[in-house]
């Protein structure tokens, strides 16, 4: 249970993103290798097309968690981000994402590469590859040898060309409008953004995608990460759409934005340690809190560090979910993580 939505706006965003029931929600996917009990054999060798290339076709979903979707620069130093971009990221995060692509019912653009809230269907042909998302948007990756335009007309989804490097599909993209964000937290980009993806199908059930985002006007080095995606077997894609965004955004813009405050490192250091937490339904997790200079970081279930933004001396925004520490007599500390769906609670290990 780790939503990326900000607590103040999550119910609004979820209310606008409506998913409808569909036929074929439970349907055996033809052609999949299976184990003796009839289940999909997801570790079987990757299928290949008639020309011998790995076949990427299928229904897929990002399987990398929320960390990079919350903050695509999570593995970078703040010094790698231009001050103007860092300031805009902080402002957008504290405004509860009111101008995000989700809230405005706009295409996610580059953020489709990190979100795990969009299923996608890959359709592969020799001349082009199409990636269709469950919200109705799509990407066309041209495989016919054409080159990217040097001065493209900016669009939400950009322009993509692909080629094979052995068994690896290499996709290069440019032409993204600077109205889109790189992540839900709000990292900006310019129209000089260029993205390279390398798709490696490891087996039937898994593709690894190495992503490189280069925008030297705002980032001193490329943003590089690995995004695993997993096959969704024996099911079909549900249609999703967004509506009433104007009503949701009106409510959000009347809500006062949170304010980032400076908390002394001596206070922050009191919260460092590993916490064992339990969701309302009994699901157990662990969270490790560390202090780096004047910044407090949270590593949830060992998935990697994410910045905690101080709203008060004890209350922090974790990409919108609220983390609240309660120091106890004797040196112990309790923590509560507040989501839209409920609260996760626990104590620091002794």
Mean pLDDT by 10 residues, the chain (350 residues): 40 41 75 94 96 97 90 92 95 84 91 94 97 96 97 97 98 98 95 98 98 98 97 91 63 62 95 96 95 93 90 91 93 92 92
Q: Is 266 left (phi over 0), alpha (psi -120 to 50) or beta?
A: alpha
Cα–Cα distance measured from residue 46 to residue 54, given in angstroms and rounded to the nearest whole number: 7
Strands 240-242 and 223-231 turn out to be unpaired
Cα–Cα distance measured from residue 227 to residue 197, given in angstroms and rounded to the nearest whole number: 10
CATH code 2.40.128.20 region(s) in the chain: 7-241, 265-348
Inter-CA distances, 330 with 55, 273, 333, 348, 350, Å: 59, 15, 9, 12, 11
Alpha helix (H) ranges present in the chain? Answer: 7-16, 67-70, 83-94, 245-253, 265-268
Q: Which of 5, 49, 1, 12 is nearest to 242 (CA)?
A: 12
In CATH terms, is domain 265-348 a member of 2.40.128.20?
A: yes
Cα–Cα distance measured from residue 163 to residue 165, given in angstroms and rounded to the nearest whole number: 7
Q: Which of 106, 80, 60 is nearest to 242 (CA)?
A: 106
Please give the CATH topology (third level) of the domain spanning 7-241. Answer: Lipocalin (2.40.128)
pLDDT of residue 3: 43
pLDDT of residue 38: 93
Please give the model's pTM, rounded to 2 decimal places.
Answer: 0.83
pLDDT of residue 24: 75
């Amino acid at each position: 249970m780790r939503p990326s939505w900000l607590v103040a706006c999550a119910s609004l965003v979820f209310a606008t993103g409506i998913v409808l029931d569909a036929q074929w929600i439970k349907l055996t996917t033809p052609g999949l290798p299976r184990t003796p009990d009839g289940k999909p054999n997801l570790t079987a060798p990757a299928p290949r097309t008639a020309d011998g290339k790995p076949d990427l076709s299928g229904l897929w979903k990002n399987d990398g968690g929320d960390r990079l979707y919350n903050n695509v620069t999570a593995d970078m130093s703040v010094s790698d981000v231009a001050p103007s971009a860092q300031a805009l990221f902080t402002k957008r995060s504290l405004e509860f994402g009111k101008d995000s692509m989700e809230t405005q019912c706009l295409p996610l653009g580059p953020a489709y590469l990190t979100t795990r809230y969009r299923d996608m269907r890959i359709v592969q042909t020799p001349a082009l590859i199409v990636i269709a998302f469950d919200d109705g948007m799509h990407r066309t990756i041209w495989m016919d040898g054409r080159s990217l335009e040097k001065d493209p007309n900016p669009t939400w989804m950009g322009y993509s060309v692909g080629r094979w490097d052995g068994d690896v599909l290499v996709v290069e993209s440019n032409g993204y409008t600077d109205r889109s964000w790189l992540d839900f937290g709000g990292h900006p980009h310019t129209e000089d953004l260029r993205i390279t993806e390398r798709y490696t199908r490891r087996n039937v059930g898994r593709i690894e995608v190495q992503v490189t985002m280069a925008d030297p006007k705002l980032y001193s080095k490329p943003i590089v990460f690995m995004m695993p995606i997993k096959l969704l077997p024996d099911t079909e894609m549900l249609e999703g759409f967004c509506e009433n965004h104007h009503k949701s955004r009106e409510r959000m813009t009347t809500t006062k934005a949170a304010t980032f405050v400076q908390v002394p490192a001596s206070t922050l250091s009191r919260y460092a340690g590993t916490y064992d937490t339990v969701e309302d339904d009994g699901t157990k997790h662990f969270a490790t809190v560390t202090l780096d200079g004047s910044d407090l970081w949270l590593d949830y279930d060992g998935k990697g560090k994410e910045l905690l933004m101080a709203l008060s001396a004890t209350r922090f925004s974790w990409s919108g979910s609220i983390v609240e520490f309660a120091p106890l007599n004797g040196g112990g500390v309790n923590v509560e993580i507040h989501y839209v769906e409920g609260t996760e609670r626990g104590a620091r290990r002794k």
